[in-house]
Amino acid sequence: MIHPGPDGEYYELTDPVSLPKASGFLWNETMLIRATCRGYAASLFMQPEPSKYSYGPNMEAKTFMLPEPACYTHHPGRFVYVKDEEDKPLLFSAPYEPVRRKPERFAFQVWKHKLLWLVECGGIEITMSLSLPRHDPLELWRIKVKNLSGRKRSLSLYPYFTVGYMSWMNQGGQYNEELKAIVCSCVTPYQKSEDYPKIKEYKDKTFLWAGQSPVAWETSLERFEGEGGLSSPEAVSLERLSNGDCQYEMMAAVMQYRLEMGGGDEREFQFIFGPAKDEREILSLSSRYENDFDSVEREYSSYIAQGEGVLRISTPDAGLDNYVNNWLPRQVYYHGITNRMCTDPQTRNYVQDAMGMSYITPQTARDMFLLALSQQNKNGKMPDGILLSPEAELKYINQVPHSDHCAWLPISLAAYLDETGDYALLDEEVPFADDGEIAAEPHATVSRHIDLAMDWLFNDRDERGLNYIRQGDWCDPMNMVGYKGKGVSGWLTMASAYAINCWAAICRESGRQSEAEQYLAKADEINAAINSRLWDGDWYARGITDDGVLFGVNADKEGKIFLNAQSWAILCGAADDNKKQKLMRSVEKYLESPYGVEMLAPVYTAMREDIGRLTQKHPGIVENGSVYNHAAIFYIYALYVTGENEGAFRLLRKMLPGESNEDIVRRGQMPVFIPNYYRGAYSQFPHTAGRSSHLFNTGTVSWYYRCLIDGLFGLQGTKAGLLVHPMFPSHWNEASVTRYFRGAKIHLDIRRDPEARKITVLCEGKPLSGGLLTDIIAGKDYHLSVKLPLSEN
């Protein structure tokens, strides 16, 4: 059903039915497209806000990327109908929708730099491949037709690219001979005259350019479908498409090619699909790319290859190797480059995505940290969102006050400093902002900025020593715990203590001893408050509402235990070993499912007005008790940093669609990205548990990478060098790793050794004290052999 290609270059699905929503995604700096194995596609481009060029059949709400996208007959997509002009019954469509004729052979290949579909039906083979240019928001399609039937065939080929409902103000389409393109135009709807200057600059045209002129075309969806519908369009049953234009009707871009093919003959067609401002731009774009697909694909492939990360692993787990070597760094890179396709990323997301870029392109991480800090208020508070351009504005959830954004600064910066040793960053002078406006004066060093952020967190606590939650912390929809100004977040209090501890460690490394001691004392004070107010006997409470009600405790019927309050109690040091063992048992008992560890349980099935929107979410999705991978990876990281290798690895492995076909079908996706969640509520709704959200925007991947570096492979940077301390699961006896670190290439052969009493690291045969490789020279190769004690188990 699914298998990796040679050297993991691609992942292949060999039937369109078992994983109907299986998908892959491609992006560049200005666009993103997600396409499924059956041909449906969701695409957007930035101008500068996210916009569309291929729509569904009705006005679509502009919102953020949603989980569990529905697929329906008229869902936007890219399809090719094939009709045999002699043997009429033969009508099929590649890759599968909308005709859904079962193919003799099918392959959906997700490559890092392209998506490819191969379909064989009735002796005709269609190959469709999609790549993107480096910059422009355009789709470059190659469609190959091969006659495998060993006899002459007379075919009609109909590329059908959806355009849909573009505007209630003005929309129409026609074929432009001169441009060799179907051009669909609209005017983005608006009512306020002050919007016109912006609107008039929009790319309000969608065009389908063809390398070879079609014999006929169609621009009206209704005329194309006729009475046959999309599974058997009336227009395809006719001799020729109508060559009609479209006047304020539902649009489609359909072309017809007549092919006389001898046995074994093959033909290739090239298409460019995307938005444009006007015909002149269509001409310049098509002339820039026509007849140059090869080099454009090569350029795009090398662009994507820049996101390869710093680890190449070969372990007993081939599935994990494939994901870590090929797909994980790509997904981290996607987040750092595209900022999840918005102009005002949430501050916590932006700073954690920067953390991930420390392992991919550290310079990008550095720039992201500096931009985020330049938007900090002088009082230390961080904004809810980071504005990526002067005309950007805070939207949606960024208009709801959340209290946690400061905490992520030292937590993420610690990974950057570990990876780069770039402590000079702490002395960089950065301005402040006053409510979004970057002020000319005053400036302060990065260190001073983070001091202020830690002091803001430390002071933003109530008389019990717990942090106010306002209308949310890491959990966006926990919006009614503290909206009256008294409710506190147990998780945020733990995150504050952990952040302050991380900052103390950085202060120590950067020679600010006294500040380090002061911050350690502050963290201890907070941990004392946590243990006196939030320990419920077998786990930690999630918080206390405006009305003083402790929640996330055993007394609760729903939302008894929250995962984040357990993992962060371990991270901040509030949980001593006795409490840690107790909460780990509780997590295993109440939250662990075959698909990973759930975010809370039992799920909420009714509104709690002292907790909020979270409790209104459908049981088992997103924050209401799904396997919310971002929360799960925090727990896994907490287990690694406290030496719980077995539990950490078990849950790390469950985050990837498993080896068994049954698990893969249940998740419904290929292991080419980690989704933000898998359906939860396993004990209450086992039949839907495990389903993927198919949403690849998630802070999980930065932390997954950190778990590999700081935990599983224990190849963590320090100021002095690379600390080697693998934390293998007991069933791993050996592995080899190549670690790229500060310009050097470090080859590690790691294996269990009956003689080894503790982890021993030899570099070129000489023991390394404390497993620390220092004085590392960029450009040099190092060969380390690491001996691990035999596992207890």
Identity of the residue, 293 or 474, whose beta carbon is nearer to ligand CEZ in the bound complex? 474
Identity of the residue, 155 or 591, whose beta carbon is nearer to ligand CEZ in the bound complex? 591
Per-position x/- string for 463-492, each x denoting binding to ligand CEZ as judged by CB under 6 A, each - no binding: -----------xxxx---------------
Say how far apart CA 426 and CA 415 lie, in whole Å: 14
Token code pair at residue 513: 């001893």
Nearest to 155 by CA among 102, 90, 206, 84: 84
CB of 696 to ligand CEZ, least distance (A): 11
Say how far apart CA 608 and CA 606 lie, in whole Å: 7
Identity of the residue, 171 or 626, whose beta carbon is nearer to ligand CEZ in the bound complex? 626
Say how far apart CA 666 and CA 135 lie, in whole Å: 36
Token code pair at residue 686: 């086992």
Q: Which of 36, 131, 256, 346 binds ligand CEZ (CB under 6 A)?
A: 346
Give me the numbers of helices (H) and strands (E) for the chain, helices first please.
19, 40
Active-site annotation holds for 476: yes
Q: Which of 315, 349, 615, 624 binds ligand CEZ (CB under 6 A)?
A: 349
* CA angle 432–437–440, rounded 5-degree value: 55
Stretch that binds ligand CEZ, among 96-104, 118-126, 195-203, 342-350 (CB under 6 A): 342-350
Q: Which of 139, 245, 610, 623 binds ligand CEZ (CB under 6 A)?
A: 623
Identity of the residue, 420 or 676, whose beta carbon is nearer to ligand CEZ in the bound complex? 676
Stretch that binds ligand CEZ, among 13-21, 175-183, 346-354, 458-466 (CB under 6 A): 346-354
Give the nearest residue (CB) to ligand CEZ.
Answer: 476
Identity of the residue, 67 or 421, whose beta carbon is nearer to ligand CEZ in the bound complex? 67
Identity of the residue, 331 or 349, whose beta carbon is nearer to ligand CEZ in the bound complex? 349
| Torsional sign, CA 541, 543, 548, 554 | negative
Say how far apart CA 159 and CA 71 lie, in whole Å: 20
Per-position x/- string for 658-687, each x denoting binding to ligand CEZ as judged by CB under 6 A, each - no binding: ------------------x-----------
622 belongs to the binding site for ligand CEZ (CB under 6 A): yes
Cβ-in-10-Å burial (0-12, 13-18, 19+) of 486 comes to middle
| Torsional sign, CA 476, 481, 487, 491 | negative
The phi-psi region of residue 530 (left if phi > 0; otherwise alpha if psi is between -120 and 50; otherwise beta) is alpha
Looking at the chain, how many residues does it have?
A: 793
Side-chain half-sphere of 220: how many Cα atoms within 13 Å? 14
- Counting other chains too, the contacts that 13-16 makes at CB distance below 8 Å and 24 or more residues apart are 13/37, 13/107, 13/108, 13/109, 13/110, 13/670, 14/106, 14/107, 15/106, 16/95, 16/96, 16/103, 16/106, 16/108
- Among residues 84, 476, 536, 556, which one is catalytic? 476
CB of 42 to ligand CEZ, least distance (A): 15
Say whether 500 sits in a helix, a strand or coil: helix
CB of 627 to ligand CEZ, least distance (A): 13
Number of residues that bind ligand CEZ (CB under 6 A): 12
Identity of the residue, 348 or 560, whose beta carbon is nearer to ligand CEZ in the bound complex? 348
CB of 474 to ligand CEZ, least distance (A): 5
Identity of the residue, 235 or 633, whose beta carbon is nearer to ligand CEZ in the bound complex? 633
CB of 358 to ligand CEZ, least distance (A): 19
Q: Give how far the C-alpha of residue 29 lies from the chain's centroid of Cα atoms, to the nearest Å.
A: 15
Identity of the residue, 4 or 675, whose beta carbon is nearer to ligand CEZ in the bound complex? 675
CB of 714 to ligand CEZ, least distance (A): 27
CB of 348 to ligand CEZ, least distance (A): 5
CB of 397 to ligand CEZ, least distance (A): 5
CB of 477 to ligand CEZ, least distance (A): 4
Q: Give how far the C-alpha of residue 433 lies from the chain's centroid of Cα atoms, to the nearest Å.
A: 29
Give residues with Cβ within 8 angstroms of 774, minimum separation 6.
Answer: 720, 721
702 belongs to the binding site for ligand CEZ (CB under 6 A): no
348 belongs to the binding site for ligand CEZ (CB under 6 A): yes
CB-based contact 681:603 (threshold 8 Å):
yes
SS3 content of the chain, % helix, strand, coil (to 5): 30, 25, 40
Say how far apart CA 474 and CA 481 lie, in whole Å: 13
34 belongs to the binding site for ligand CEZ (CB under 6 A): no
Q: Among residue numbers 430 through 449, which ones bind ligand CEZ (CB under 6 A)?
A: none
Token code pair at residue 488: 């506190």
CB of 623 to ligand CEZ, least distance (A): 5
Stretch that binds ligand CEZ, among 166-174, 258-266, 341-349, 416-424 (CB under 6 A): 341-349
CB-based contact 146:152 (threshold 8 Å):
no
Strand partners, 276: 205
Task: Report helix angle 446-459 to 513-533, nearest 10.
Answer: 20
DSSP string across 688-732: TTT-B------THHHHHHHIIIIIIS-EEE-SSEEEE-----TT-
CB-based contact 112:6 (threshold 8 Å):
no
Identity of the residue, 640 or 677, whose beta carbon is nearer to ligand CEZ in the bound complex? 677
397 belongs to the binding site for ligand CEZ (CB under 6 A): yes
Nearest to 470 by CA among 405, 387, 560: 405
CB of 52 to ligand CEZ, least distance (A): 19
Query: Which amino acid is residue 583, in one-letter code?
Result: L
Identity of the residue, 477 or 657, whose beta carbon is nearer to ligand CEZ in the bound complex? 477
Identity of the residue, 164 or 612, whose beta carbon is nearer to ligand CEZ in the bound complex? 612
Identity of the residue, 25 or 96, whose beta carbon is nearer to ligand CEZ in the bound complex? 25
Token code pair at residue 235: 């227009």
DSSP string across 521-576: HHHHHHHHHHHHHSB-SSSB--EE-TT--EESSTT-SSS-EESHHHHHHHHTT-S-
Nearest to 788 by CA among 709, 735, 710: 735
Q: Among residue numbers 72 through 131, which ones bind ligand CEZ (CB under 6 A)?
A: none
Greatest extent of the chain over all pairs of C-alpha atoms, in Å: 86
Token code pair at residue 787: 């001996």
Q: Among residue numbers 43 through 72, which ones bind ligand CEZ (CB under 6 A)?
A: 67
453 belongs to the binding site for ligand CEZ (CB under 6 A): no
CB of 58 to ligand CEZ, least distance (A): 23
Q: Which positions are annotated as active-site residues? A: 476
Under the rule (CB under 6 A), what is the footprint of ligand CEZ?
67, 346, 348-349, 397, 474-477, 622-623, 676
